[in-house]
Structure 1
Amino acid sequence: MWNKIGLPRNLLWGYIGLAIFMLGDGVEQAWISPYLVERGMSIENASLLLTVYGIAVAVSAWLSGIFVQTMGPRKAMVYGLIAFIIGSLGFIGLGVYELNLAVMLPFYALRGLGYPLFAYSFLIWINYSSPLERRGAAVGWFWFMFSLGLSVLGPFYSSLTIPVIGHVNTLWSSLIFVFVGAFLAIYTNKDKVPSNEIHPFTLSEFMKGVTILKQKEISLGLIVKTINGLAQYGLAVFMPIYLMGFGYSTTEWLQMWSTVFTVAIFANLFFGYVGDRFGWRNTIQWVGGVGYAIVLVMIYFTPQVIGHNYLVMTIVLSLCGITMAGFVPLSALFPLLSPENKGAAMSILNLGAGLSTFLAPAIAGLFFSSLGAGGVLFIYAGFYILSAILTPFLKTPDELQKDNQKSLRMDNVRAK
């Protein structure tokens, strides 16, 4: 039954563990910035904290492919768990109570090193262990579980616990989910990656995570993947502040943001299947690129027109959940852009995901004060149009070879 719906049975416990782990990681995603600002931290310092966190995520995401290719996904996920736990203990226990930025920055960065090493190592595991003809659906299930934990259950759990035990105790309680999810994904999950996919660690193997960028398709794919997450990680920084001006409360924002990702998790599955059937690039270009740009413009103008209308605003924001899922097939396409170096290719994919968490709050921090929410949203929309322009160039070596052969035949015909 599991294989029929595109969920690899051999990785079932890994998927379940991923969702629970990401619930623990996601409890603060939708409220940490406004919470710190309300307690007296400046918007610039809050953005700096999230930017440093994003840099750590980007570095960890990039290293995850190299770690998996040289030590296997299970060990890489253990290192991710350790980094997350140590970072959380320092960030919550030593930094948050006194809003000590000097302490918060390094420990939140260490926490940021943890989750990509855990989650994206499992994504690479899926690409090694799932059949090619159903890989779009398999990675769709990854993003389903990832988003279910990070952006649906995490914020929803926070909306229930913050009024009862407060923000800081909610952060402490998240560690329970992290431990349980890691146990299921690392130890209960018994799947093994083929031994020929794991290479000895060498300098040349490590450098593949850099030198592979010489391949044009990989470099363009990095840009597309980075754009993919801009709105997801950027809206949480400034949209609560923007919507407060129209009478929306923090609780309403948390519930709307949770609804966005409730829609997204089902859209992830849907567009995984759509990509397998109608083309991965078509789905990325039109749904993820063009569609997302249109939705971001709508998000800015909707409260300007309707004011405080929770239902309508929720519906419009939920369109983000549909269009972000248009990028799901990119996770299946990317390793095929360099089939001889899947681990290195996935490192670049993961690097793009990490760069999103760095660039999104950085753009918000740089332009929100001067251009407002509208300026930031239009900047994001422009980037999504750019991703739509670049996507048709993401071709596999086999496709490029066929294109070259076709071009040669046409040249020969013209010569005659």
Structure 2
Amino acid sequence: MQSQSKEYWFGLPTKLLWGFIAIAIFMSGDGFEMAFLSRHITDMGFSPAQSAMVFTVYGLAAALAAWASGVVAEIITPQRAMLIGFVLWIVMHALFMALGLGMRNYPLMLLFYGIRGLAYPLFIYSFMLLLVQVLPRERLAAATGWFWAMYSVGIGVVGSYLPSLIIPGMGETGTLWFAIAWVACGGILAFFSLRNVEVDRSRMNLPLRDKMTELSRAVTILFVNRDVFYACLIRIINTLSLFGFAVIMPLLFVDRLGFSISEWLQIWAVFFFVTIFTNIFWGITGEVIGWIRQVRWFGCLGMAVSSLAFYYVPLWFGHNYWMAMVPAVMLGIFVAAFVPMTAVFPTLEPNHKGAAVSIYNLSAGLSNFVAPAIASALLPFFDIVGVVWAYTGLYLFAGVLTFIIRVPQPKRVRQRTPTAEPTRQE
């Protein structure tokens, strides 16, 4: 038997190392447009509300794909689900660029960017189910900390910082086309590195009726398990600022405060750069201080304060590049404190892990939808400040929910200890 030190490196399962790297590369390409596409669309002559609607439709599609991905991956295997997501992304992005943006056709922009929203959740959340299937439960929080670290490396650091360097040379349109190369590399790497990983194939040969029953469980579980429902709400709120600020903050930083698009992208990249380390830190720390306690005091409360700071600090100091970095760092520290939520869902429903992971994925996808939807609804009436305060209030509401939810968290398994006694956590 291999030693624990060889199987895990600071919580990272070494046998899945290349899968984690594939997530980072794939999300790099997916994140190229995240912090500048909204402004690019308005520069083409569309209104800020129309731009926000593009992201809203995208987020709704991502939510649907995220919801289905857990059960779909369980039925057809995570590896096959990841392959479908990879191919779908390439095709829809090319159509979005050529027929949507290329022809300045707003309905086609909504159509193809919306369909592309189905792709990345299917790819990354199928990998998350693979982690749930192959890793022991007491190792899951730390491993998912690494998962979100790789996500941040991709969508935030490379996905934001690299465009800030190449936009001056390639232009925004060329940069968007260049994203295909990154996604292709990540998808191919995942295909070859994960194809021989042993996963649960017990549901592959189920009759169609049983498969549909399992898929429906990804909805009904919300009504029969109260704690899963509360966990769903908390996870939706988790990344509201992440997805919402990418839409509204370029309007503040670039259009009103005079930052260049490259400066804004670098500030956004710093936020994600910080989460590389804080995702790993909070994944490990949550196993020590308690999953829900960490989410309550560092996730919910920390994000409420950080969201306000992200708006008011640059407003007070104006075009001050280094002061604008301060709330970006704060946001990167506290958004990662929600990392243990990945382990919470399958723990709350251990007999139906695929359905539980689907609810987690649905929550993450709904966050991608709800954040720009709130922005789209409030911007015309309350401007950017109204959106920021709405996010802040929801973080405080999530903090209240953490006093209601009850999670049986396993104790960390020590070496040579065959079992772990679960402890009930408030």
- Normalising by structure 1, we get a TM-score of 0.93
d(CA) in 2 for partners of 1:148, 1:29: 14
SS in 2 for 1:166: helix
Tell me whether 1:100 sits opposite 2:105 in the alignment: yes
What amino acid maps onto 1:360 in structure 2?
A: A
Deviation of 1:4 (Å): 3.3
Could you say which residue in structure 2 is the equivalent of 1:193?
A: 199
The verdict on how the C-alpha distance between 1:311 and 1:268 changes in structure 2, with shifts beyond 3 A counting, is same
d(CA) in 2 for partners of 1:180, 1:37: 31
The verdict on how the C-alpha distance between 1:397 and 1:317 changes in structure 2, with shifts beyond 3 A counting, is closer
Could you say which residue in structure 2 is the equivalent of 1:407?
A: none
Decide which of 222, 243, 247 is 2:253's aligned counterpart.
243
Deviation of 1:132 (Å): 2.2
Decide which of 210, 223, 238 is 2:219's aligned counterpart.
210
Deviation of 1:105 (Å): 1.0
Could you say which residue in structure 1 is the equivalent of 2:183?
A: 178
Q: What are the residue-to-residue correspondences of 1:38-117 with 2, within 5 Å?
A: 38-117=43-122
| Structure 1 vs Structure 2 CA RMSD | 1.7
Could you say which residue in structure 2 is the equivalent of 1:409?
A: none
Q: Contact 1:86 / 1:110 at 8 angstroms: preserved in 2?
A: no
Q: What are the residue-to-residue correspondences of 1:14-413 with 2, within 5 Å?
A: 14-189=19-194, 190-196=196-202, 200=206, 201=208, 202-214=211-223, 215-244=225-254, 245-396=256-407
**Any idea what the Cα deviations from partners look like across 1:80-126, whole Å, max 9, x if unmatched?**
11221121111011111222111111110111100000001101111
- Normalising by structure 2, we get a TM-score of 0.91
SS in 2 for 1:393: coil
d(CA) in 1 for partners of 2:78, 2:282: 26
Which stretch shows the higher mean deviation, 167-176 or 15-24? 167-176
d(CA) in 2 for partners of 1:381, 1:366: 16
What amino acid maps onto 1:294 in structure 2?
A: V
**Any idea what the Cα deviations from partners look like across 1:29-51, whole Å, max 9, x if unmatched?**
01000111112111111111110
d(CA) in 2 for partners of 1:299, 1:165: 30
What amino acid maps onto 1:222 in structure 2?
A: C
**Any idea what the Cα deviations from partners look like across 1:271-290, whole Å, max 9, x if unmatched?**
00110111111111111101
Deviation of 1:368 (Å): 1.6
Deviation of 1:305 (Å): 1.9
Give the percent of matched residue pairs that are identical in Structure 1 and Structure 2: 39
**Any idea what the Cα deviations from partners look like across 1:165-200, whole Å, max 9, x if unmatched?**
111111111111111111111222232213347572
Could you say which residue in structure 2 is the equivalent of 1:414?
A: none
Q: Which has the higher helix share?
A: 1
The verdict on how the C-alpha distance between 1:238 and 1:45 changes in structure 2, with shifts beyond 3 A counting, is same
Could you say which residue in structure 1 is the equivalent of 2:414?
A: none
**How many residues matched?**
402
The verdict on how the C-alpha distance between 1:142 and 1:398 changes in structure 2, with shifts beyond 3 A counting, is closer
Q: Contact 1:338 / 1:396 at 8 angstroms: preserved in 2?
A: no
